[in-house]
Amino acid sequence: MKQSNKRPLEGLRVIELARVLAGPWCGQLLADLGAEVIKIERPGVGDDTRQWGPPFVTGADGEDLGAAYYHSCNRGKRSVAIDIATNAGQTALRALLADADVVIENYKVGGLAKYGLDPARLRADFPQLIVCSVTGFGQTGPYAHRAGYDYIIQAMSGFMSLTGEPDGPPQKAGIAYADIFTGLYSAVAILAALRRRGVMGAGAHIDMALLDSQVAVLANQAANYLASGVVPKRMGSGHSNVVPYQVFATADGQLVIAVGNDGQYRKLCAILGEPDWGTDPRFATNAARLENRSTLIPLLAAKIAAWDAQALSLALEAEGVPAGPINDLAGVFADPQVVARGMRFRPDGAAIDAVASPIVIDGERMIAARGAPPLGE
């Protein structure tokens, strides 16, 4: 895929001393925006995720290109195989750092000190360098020494306590959201530090923690607890603050109906042939619907069950009531809107399709044209 315009971060050099997902996700986003991202990998082994399969990717000549997982978060980068445990490797890395702007690293706290590459040393040797450290628990606090994994963070952050059916066990998300959110927040922090460097002339050390990021995105659930002192519970597909806002069974499948205001609720009632429910004092306002959820939901569910999903979806769309199907991934990539937006594409020279960046600037999607690099290319 070719870009017609200069991308925003062209000219920025990023050294990625990171593996698995959070750090590489940040690096991939910066590469999509035009930065030169040089990924430092262990000779002969590479990033852990090169082995995280199946599925594995095979090149046109039958060569092993590693696991699909690796390709999901390393688009647009260059790979350099350097053993930083050796003097020669440290010298080679420092040569790259001499004209770098950013380092992304996800070693355990203090893990780079034995190589003379810890953030404090890097900042002293390269004052304009922005060093972004990504760890499970941050650089300070009683857990700083611990290794952090997304699954553990989803558990410890409270996320899993909110996810799953009310009478079932806590559930993790199907995606490593703690890693991904930390990668996104890291990219925002790096851009902010670059802006500050442009004003003040100094680099920075950014301290990013998976636990911090996952707690930060508890959003309304955290606010509900802090405001009320009531610990939120799992609600399945239901919403803690809005009703009706959940999955409903239709005659031939399931449909998510997400009523965001009282006007939409009244339209839903009219479509279902029960306009009086729209003005019933028990249900007329969202606060009333929350209070009387256990009465309202069975009434709506009985009416919705008589509809075919497609027919009801079209009826709701015509009246501006938000609704949508629960797609599997085959359905996602066949969806006309996803197709029209170009969310599936084939990077130049890549053996598999990739998922595009969601960022569009002046009508151009910000995507690194090249796929993930072979080890030490």
Model-level pTM?
0.91
> Which CATH number does 13-217+342-365 carry?
3.40.50.10540
What is the domain partition of the chain in residue ranges? 13-217+342-365, 245-326
Handedness of CA 107, 135, 177, 32 (dihedral sign): negative
Q: Which CATH topology does 245-326 take?
A: formyl-coa transferase, domain 3 (3.30.1540)
List active site positions. 179
Interstrand relation of 204-209 and 78-81 (parallel, antiparallel or unpaired): unpaired
pLDDT, one tens digit for every residue, the chain (377 residues): 455 568 999 999 999 999 999 999 999 999 999 999 999 999 998 999 999 999 999 888 888 888 999 999 999 999 999 999 999 999 999 999 999 999 999 999 999 999 999 999 999 999 999 999 999 999 999 999 999 899 999 999 999 999 999 999 999 999 999 999 999 999 999 999 999 999 999 999 999 999 999 999 999 999 999 999 999 999 999 999 999 999 999 999 999 999 999 999 999 999 999 999 999 999 999 999 999 999 999 999 999 999 999 999 999 999 999 999 999 999 999 999 999 999 999 988 888 899 999 999 999 999 998 999 988 88
* Contact between 293 and 237 (Cβ < 8 Å): no
- What whole-number distance in Å separates Cα of residue 118 and Cα of residue 107? 9
- What whole-number distance in Å separates Cα of residue 308 and Cα of residue 301? 13
In our burial notation (b when 16+ CB lie closer than 10 A, e otherwise), range 196-220 reads ebeeeeebbbbbbbbbbbbbebbee
**Spacing of C-alpha 234 from chain mean position:** 22
Domains 13-217+342-365 and 245-326 share a fold: no
